[in-house]
Each structure stands twice: as structure tokens, then as C-alpha cells.
Amino acid sequence: MAGLGKLVKQAEKMKRGIEALQTQLEAKEIDVTSGGGAVKLKVNGTGKFLGLVLDPEFLKEDPKLIADTVLAAVQDAAKQAKEYHEAEMAKVTGAFQLPGMF
């Protein structure tokens, strides 16, 4: 049963790590630009969008171009947030292994 105690301690340590990481992810801000700086987005490490700034001159462009550029920025921001989240989570959970699983 000594192995079970070790497993429980590892799980508790991982839980504390995940809780600390959640705070870190919420505080992390990722800035994304698109259209040569015409669209600026800010997203945090959990994927929550925090801000959007559109250059007023850019708003004079074709509506389809505006929509495509904003969409590209949103997709890029979501991708970056997801990659950051996954990389940071792997640091916390990577050391946790169930006996007999690997």
C-alpha cells in the first residue's frame, strides 16, 4: 500500500499545481495583431478575450476584408492561447504517472 500513498501525494501535488497554473493562465495576456496592425486582440491564457482594437482607418475598407481580418486575428489568438495552455498544463501534469500505465 506504500505505492498508493505515493500516488495520493502525487495527485495532491498535481492538484495544487493545476490550481496555481489556473491563476497564472488567467493573468497571462497574449497580444495578437492582424492586417498589419489594423486589428489588435488581447486574450488570456485560458482563452478569454480581453480586448479588441480596430484602427479607424481600417474600418473604411471593404466589409468582407474587415470581417476576414478580424476572424483571422480571433483564430490566431485562440490558437495561441490553446497552445500556451497545453504547454503549461503539460509542465504540471507531465510528472504524474499512474503505476503500470507507461
Q: Grid coordinates representing 87?
A: 504547454
Grid coordinates of 33: 495583431
The structural domains of the chain, ordered by start, are 25-93 (3.30.1310.10)
Please give the order of strands across the beta sheet that includes 29-34: 29-34, 39-44, 49-54
For the stretch 5-61, pLDDT in tens is: 777 887 788 888 888 889 999 999 999 999 999 999 999 999 999 999 999 999 999
pLDDT band with cut points at 50, 70 and 90 for residue 98 = low
Q: For residue 101, what pLDDT band results from cuts at 50, 70 and 90?
A: very low
Cell numbers 501534469: residue: 93
**How many whole angstroms separate alpha carbon 85 and alpha carbon 79?**
10
| DSSP secondary structure letter of residue 58 | G
The grid cell for 14 is 498535481
